[in-house]
Amino acid sequence: MKQRLWLKILLCVIGVGFLYPMLWMILTSLKEKSEFYVNPFGLPKVWDLGNFSEALASLDILKYSFNSIIYTFFTCLITLFFGSMLAYCITRMNFRYARQVTLYMSVGLVIPIQVVMIPLYMMIMDMGLKGSRFSLVFPYSAFQMASTVLMLSAFLSTLPKELEEAAAIDGCNVYQAFFRIIFHIIKPAVLTRGMFIFISVWNEFAIAQVLGNSEKLRPIPVALQNFFLSVGVSDWGLIGAAVVMTSFPLVLIYCIGNRQIENALTAGAVLK
């Protein structure tokens, strides 16, 4: 009984540690410019919402959010579509080079983005994609593909082989068995992976800074950096308001998809 109590206390402390930066950011966004230096960690004396309107006027959040939404949507679409089929191929079919492909994908997890930045930039230039949104969508999809394939492969390996056998008896070919049966079963894992891709692409900065730094292509992270440089460290309330507004989609996606994470973590055990 005491061990459970101490465990609950420990988990509460860890939870507060994770949530406090978000709370501090929200409280900072509600403080006046001068109050932050006097009271950086306490509650605001005057709850000021003017920082949000000023941040909206100074930073075109809707335009940059639209760019980030396009990048995340098409990255999720490309990665989940091709990644799920490749995972199905190497786990459920008699693919001769399944082990080699799995090893190749595993190696892709340990290669930092900074190592391939120069050849990536040269490839984008040679393909004539510089200046288009695909100059970010394709690299994002490539970097997310390895973890997607490995995650879905682990989930697909828990499914019984009788599913495909029953589908074949009913007259389904490989594609029909995958899209009509298997894909619906692994939907929790696909949605979970899609949520992780959304969060990762929305926060990505390195590739966006190199390939999407123009006004037309600029996503939220690069726009925030330019906003911080223009404001400086003189107005943390304004900076906090901008961060709160640009972080809202991530919090919303997580609140919507947290149940899918639970389903993905438990579905494999149920199917076994």
Q: Any alpha helices (H) in 157-219, and if so which ranges?
A: 162-169, 174-177, 183-185, 187-203, 206-211
**What pLDDT score does 266 carry?**
59
Q: Measured between alpha carbons, how far is 213 from 107 in angstroms, rounded to an integer?
A: 29
Can you tell me the distance from the alpha carbon of 117 to that of 193, in angstroms, rounded to the nearest whole number?
25
Distance (Å, whole) CA 115 – CA 108: 12
- 43 against 134, higher pLDDT: 134
Question: What pLDDT was estimated at residue 262?
Answer: 64
Tens digits of residue pLDDT in 80-96: 999 999 999 998 887 88
Mean pLDDT across the chain, nearest whole number? 85
Q: Hey, what domains does the chain have and what are their CATH numbers?
A: 1-48 (no CATH), 49-271 (1.10.3720.10)
Span 99-113, average pLDDT = 86
pLDDT by residue (tens digit) across 47-74? 878 888 888 888 888 889 999 999 999 9
Is there a contact between 256 and 191 (Cβ–Cβ < 8 Å)? no
Which one-letter DSSP state was computed for residue 46? S
Q: What is the 3-state secondary structure (H, E, C) of 224-265?
A: HHHHHHHHCCCCHHHHHHHHHHHHHHHHHHHHHHHHHHHHHH
Q: For 188, how many CA atoms within 13 A lie in the half-sphere containing its CB?
A: 16
Instruction: Show the CA angle centred on residue 39, arms to residues 38 and 41, nearest 5°.
Output: 145
pLDDT in tens, 134-158: 999 999 999 999 999 998 998 888 8
Residue 152 has φ and ψ, to the nearest 5°, of: -70, -30
Residue with tokens 């909206």: 56
Residue type, 11: L
C-alpha 220/C-alpha 136 separation (Å) is 13
